[in-house]
Amino acid sequence: MPPTLTMAMVMLTAALMGLSGIANQVCAENAGAVPERVTFMSADGKTTLVGYLYTAKAMAGRTPAVVMMHGRAGPYSTRANGVYDASTLSLRHKAWGRAWAEAGYVALLVDGFGPRGYWAGFQRYSYAQRPEEVNEVTVRPLDAYGALAYLRTRADVRPDRIGLQGWSNGASATLAAISADAPDQGDRTPGFRAALAFYPGCGLKGAFDAKPLIPYAPVLILQGTADEEVSYRRCLMLVERSRQSGGDIDITLYPGATHDFDAPDRNRQSIDANAQARQDALTRARDFFAHHLETAND
């Protein structure tokens, strides 16, 4: 492995189970208020998106914010049974939204599938059959920038301190959106200040095969080595090529962790490697945004 590549291979101990703050907040996935449903225009100029807003009620004045991009299954629980609203959001999305609000952020979860007619998202291994109107390289980044523009209209948000976070397909969209040559970004001044990508598919439809991905803001990828849906090795190659060209991007690998390792349901958290990875990722994500959104120089 090239010495220029920073890759943390994390093996956690039981001491991490005592972490507090954001990790404890995410564990309390059934606590907290229901988010506010909002609508705003995608930067595609034609799609009215649905968003779920978690606000930092304990904070005074303007606060940093996070735009959250769901994965291929959409933002809702698999048990939604045709009801797609704030009450049926998945445990992971509710937990992260509440955690960011508790940490003093405004968090906006973007539903980019429902308004385009795909409320239930897509099944695993359906990648080749997904329609172009949800393309994670050419379309979903426009949704992220629509959310950015919306947050900048709010009196409780610092317009220059907004981060981007995505999972799986939404993490792929996050990487495409943070590229210096992303699709029409509108008023990107300064744009997203940093980005977190949880277990992205790093093929990105070949967009960065001929040229490396060069993000315009710092990026951190978090991924398991036992991921059954996407290749962590492909992400390693993407990161290595980017860093060799000066990209401010890093990757943390969790040995034995699977796809969706941070989902707080019993199925995923019954795997020790997932439980350990989740605890570390929660703290690592909080520290990453705290550094780039709270303490970064203007």
CATH architecture observed for domain 7-294: 3-Layer(aba) Sandwich (3.40)
pLDDT (0 to 100) of residue 23: 44
Query: What is the average pLDDT across 238-261?
Result: 98
Whole-number Å distance between alpha carbons of 185 and 152: 14
Greatest alpha-carbon span in the chain: 50
Identify which has the larger pLDDT, 185 or 37: 37
Per-residue pLDDT at 126 exceeds 90: no
| C-beta atoms surrounding 138 within 10 Å | 17
pLDDT (0 to 100) of residue 160: 94
Provide the pairing of β-strand 195-198 with 106-111. unpaired
Per-residue pLDDT at 186 exceeds 80: no
Per-residue pLDDT at 3 exceeds 60: no
Please give the share of the chain, as a percent, with pLDDT higher than 90. 78
Least confident of 59-63, 94-98, 133-137, 182-186: 182-186
Least confident of 176-185, 276-285, 288-297: 176-185
Per-residue pLDDT at 15 exceeds 70: no
The pLDDT confidence band at residue 187, using thresholds 50, 70 and 90, is low
Per-residue pLDDT at 19 exceeds 50: no
Query: What is the average pLDDT across 205-234?
Result: 97
pLDDT (0 to 100) of residue 17: 39
DSSP β-bridge partners for residue 110: 51, 69
pLDDT (0 to 100) of residue 298: 55
